[in-house]
A and B are shown apart, each in its own frame.
Chain A
Amino acid sequence: MSLLHLAIFSPFLMAILVPLFYKGLRKIHTGWFVLILPIVLFVYFLQFLPVTRDNGVFQRSFDWIPSLGISFTAYVDGLSLLFALLITGIGALVVLYSIFYLSKERESLHNFYVYLLMFMGAMLGVVLSDNLITLYMFWELTSISSFLLIAYWYDRDRSRYGALKSMLITVFGGLAMLGGFLLLSIMGDTFSVRELIAQADVLNNHPLFLFAMILILLGAFTKSAQFPFYIWLPDAMEAPTPVSAYLHSATMVKAGIYLVARLSAIFAFSEYWFWLVGGIGIFTLFWGSFNAVKQTDLKGILAFSTVSQLGLIMSLLGAGAIALHFEALDDNIYTAATIAAVFHLINHATFKGSLFMVVGIVDHETGTRDIRRLGGLMSFMPITFTIAIIGAFSMAGLPPFNGFLSKEMFFTGMLQLLSADIFNLETWGLLFPVLAWVGSVFTFIYSMILVFKTFTGKYQPEKLERKPHEAPFGMLISPIVLAALVVLFGLFPNLLSYSLIQPAAAAIMPSIVPAGEVLDVHVSHWHGFSTELFMTIGVVVLGILMYLTLNKWIRLYSIFPGKVTLNTLYDTGLYASERGSYNVTKAYMNGSIRTYLIYIFVFFIGILGFTLWNKDAFTVSTDNLAPIGVYEMVLSAVIIAGTMAILAAKSRLTSIIALGAVGYTVSLFFVIFRAPDLALTQLVIETVSVALFLLCFYHLPQLNRDQEGRRFKLGNLAVALGVGTIVTLMALSAHSTKRFESISEYYIANTYEEAAGKNMVNVILVDFRGFDTLFEISVLAIAALGIFGMIKLRLSKKGEGADE
């Protein structure tokens, strides 16, 4: 445990305290307490900037499950630090925003902040773990906290639907990813990412390599909402807006990007990696922006926009992989794509975060997010409007905002692919800049829709629930901070160049950055009249034209058949699998205990009988048998007689007494077999059991055996005889074969030396096999509580079920 580990776990610890704050200090909004933590963490992580500046790393480790090679190694390098700062920084702003967004009177804030903190801790865990298994654990934890947050307003159908959808898709991806991780660990014999990176050459030639890559990419693509898995993200917008801003645009959906970036060093040399990451990324960019235009819900626009921007970053990471095929660092132009990816990652978090908060404000102040009902809000909310302009223009890629810079770099990255002469890029490479450009045009259009449809145009007060006015100041702080960053990074991008971008990019491509050197990162506004600039001008010109003529061509979207969508596929698939599993279960689970018992016993007979026969295991040895004395004969006879009496019993009392007799006889057997502890225990237990039976006696019905027909009894008899025979055969074989020394020898030899006891049975119980005993008494306690609950807490409704 180090301070770094503590930093990762601190959100979880804080989450424990949240209900106390909520219950104890109702007067103060719980968010104020929570706010402290991300700020402290942000400052804490800022300290690492000097460490990573020269591509240094910081790492602390402690063993978690050493026997499986799983340790919790927390690891800070440029990439993880960038994410950690995003998580804590945006986290702090989002918490601040949520204080004003969620009312302390009406909302169950304790749930909200517990989930949010859980997410924060999990996300920090994802980006700071070096061990694949810990990474996976935190990864799934982010999915679960996202599920809980989307379903925060759980009384809404859409929320539950969206939550379930995101959970199913991301957890499916997560499981695939776990498979990929395990394959990686089989190939490299370690769970450590850095150790795997060190042997990337070996892994590249392994037959399982491609398989592992596809599985891991499934995880990354589902999480980062890439085509065709993006469908969960628009539905996730049912979450409260602070959550959308935090999880579903700034951090969680970037976990997939993080994973791709982190594992680039292992996989990126492969051609498949380039085509999968780059190809799917660029198509997602196009598809997301294309679909964003037709949305009428402001958050819907932002959701598809996020999908598209994630595709953009993904495609840049794919393009950056080309750099690995060119050795020299000095003239390696392909590193530009990776640098652009990192830069855009930061920019996207700032402008998209501010836009989400703007949409939240609009929603909060007008009661709707539908652009058909909004309009002309500019004069009511001038500050919000300004923030929206800054965010949207940055998203559209207009100067002087930071989005312009990274969009230019994105075009550069895509255009450079044309000059690469590998992977058939001569023929197919053109697709990248073309799709990138088309996607940018649509991006421009929806950015304009977002601002101008909301804030300009005709004001329609009759369609709004309440009269709009500017948001309270507290709610504006966070978006203002983000918008200020948008402008700041736009004007002075080189503030970030060597502090954050270079270390992160170098961490993505460790093999081409020699130790002691740094990548050349310099972001400038003016490159001369380059192709990129003309592309941007083209985007703006065509974008404005298309925005102005929007009404004329928006109908084109309806040409697409409404039924054949990925969402329909998901819905019908889900419904079919539910029906299918229900019917399959119905077919054999008929609600009768006897049927289930018969399944069990028949399988018991079948499997054991088959094994005995197949392995030729049945042997009877007459050596080494213990002698049979008179006592044993008598006791056996008593047991048989007792059992017969139970079988034939017509009254309850007879069977209870006969069962007691059998039990006492068994305890006498234990005496003969030299098991004094057992004999004592059995004796007392039998006494207590009989007392118990007698206590319940009054409550139990008379034995009524008339309903059982002859066939019924014969069937039971057959199964019973089968079980009896198999058990006898098994007992005989078990006695007759001794394949190896019993482990009991160890206990016998060590009872005194190791455990200082003389009663071996007791020593085994409390010492050697103490776990068994611990669990056993837990089971007993549960049974006692269950009985107490059944009798004392009669929650069942009167009358229900009584007539069945």
Chain B
Amino acid sequence: MEILMSILIGFLFASAVYLMLSKSLLRIIVGTGLLSHGAHLLLITMAGLKRGAAPLLGEEAASYVDPLPQALILTAIVISFGITAFFLVLAYRAYQELGTDNTEEMRGNEAND
């Protein structure tokens, strides 16, 4: 399972990076979304999968899965939501102001100031 997951995560990362390197803003945002999914799965995979009950003491099991990565991922999920929303608004405001969603055309001209 872990090996399958590792490959799946690699695939998610590769696709995310490919999307983020493209020129269209929307694809970049979708790419970051995929990247965070990959990162979350990576975290939970690194701790080992299915090695016990869910981390609730009410289960009264002999062993529990590692709760720490779950806590980290929970934080990460919410943060990535915030980031995605921020990106999205940044993108559409940039589009409204600059009239393009091509990042190559958005390059600043601070050198001429």
Which residues of A come within 8 Å of B, CB atoms?
A: 586, 590-594, 597-598, 601, 620, 622, 624-628, 632, 636, 639-640, 643, 646-647, 652, 655-656, 659, 662-663, 666, 669-670, 672-678, 681-682, 685, 688-689, 692-693, 696, 699-701, 703-705, 707-708, 715-717, 719-721, 723-725, 727-728, 731-732, 734-735, 742-744, 747-748, 751-752, 757-761, 764-765, 769, 772-773, 776, 779-780, 783-784, 786-787, 790-791, 796, 801-804
Contacts and interface: CB of A to CB of B under 8 A. Distances in A.
A758 B5 contact: no
Contacts of A719: 17-18, 21
Given A597-B21, A677-B74, A707-B23, 10 more contacts: A628-B1, A652-B26, A685-B77, A701-B101, A719-B17, A732-B2, A779-B82, A783-B82, A791-B89, A802-B98
A666 B22 contact: no
Given A592-B104, A682-B77, A699-B95, A790 B90 contact: yes
Interface residues of B, number: 93
Interface string B91-113: 11101111111111111111100
Interface of A is mostly: helix
A758 B54 CA distance: 11
Contact of A591 (B2, B77, B95, B110): B110
A696 B45 contact: no
B74 A765 contact: yes
Contact of A689 (B25, B56, B84, B110): B84
A723 B52 CA distance: 32
Given A675-B65, A743-B68, A790-B93, A724 B77 contact: no
Given A674-B50, A720-B14, A744-B66, A769 B71 contact: yes
B2 A735 contact: yes
A627 B67 contact: no
Interface of B is mostly: helix
Contacts of A728: 6-7, 9-10
A611 to B, nearest CB: 16
B111 to A, nearest CB: 7
A786 B86 contact: yes
Nearest to B5: A731
A672 B53 CA distance: 11
B67 A592 contact: no
Contact of B47 (A659, A715, A742, A759): A742
Most A Cβ at <10 Å: residue of B16, B65, B92: B92
B77 A681 contact: yes
A703 B89 contact: no
A779 B79 contact: yes
A708 B22 contact: yes
Contacts, number: 281
Contacts of B82: 779-780, 783-784
B70 A675 contact: yes
Contacts of A731: 2, 5-6, 9-10, 42, 45-46
Contacts of A674: 50, 52-55, 65
Contacts of A732: 2-3, 6
B13 A727 contact: yes
A760 B83 CA distance: 26
A625 B27 contact: no
A719 to B, nearest CB: 6
Smallest CB-CB A-B distances: 10 pairs: A724-B14, A728-B10, A760-B67, A720-B18, A731-B6, A626-B1, A591-B107, A758-B57, A783-B82, A699-B92
Contact of B24 (A705, A760, A761, A765): A705
Contact of A773 (B38, B75, B86): B75
B34 to A, nearest CB: 7
Contacts of A791: 89, 93
6 contacts: A681-B74, A720-B14, A731-B46, A735-B6, A764-B71, A802-B98
A748 B27 contact: no
B79 A780 contact: yes
Contacts of A701: 24-26, 95, 100-101
A678 B70 contact: yes
Given A591-B110, A802-B98, A662 B37 contact: yes
Contacts of A801: 97-98
Given A624-B48, A724-B17, A735-B2, A678 B74 contact: yes
Contacts of A802: 97-99
Nearest to A652: B26
Contact of B22 (A601, A705, A758): A705
Nearest to B20: A597
Given A673-B44, A685-B81, A688-B81, A723 B13 contact: yes
A624 B2 CA distance: 10
Nearest to B60: A758
A666 B15 CA distance: 16
Contacts of B107: 590-592
Contacts of A790: 89-90, 93
Nearest to A671: B54
Contacts of B5: 636, 731
A779 B80 CA distance: 11
A42 B6 CA distance: 70
B102 A707 contact: yes
Contact of A675 (B44, B75, B101): B44
Nearest to A637: B8
A678 B77 contact: yes
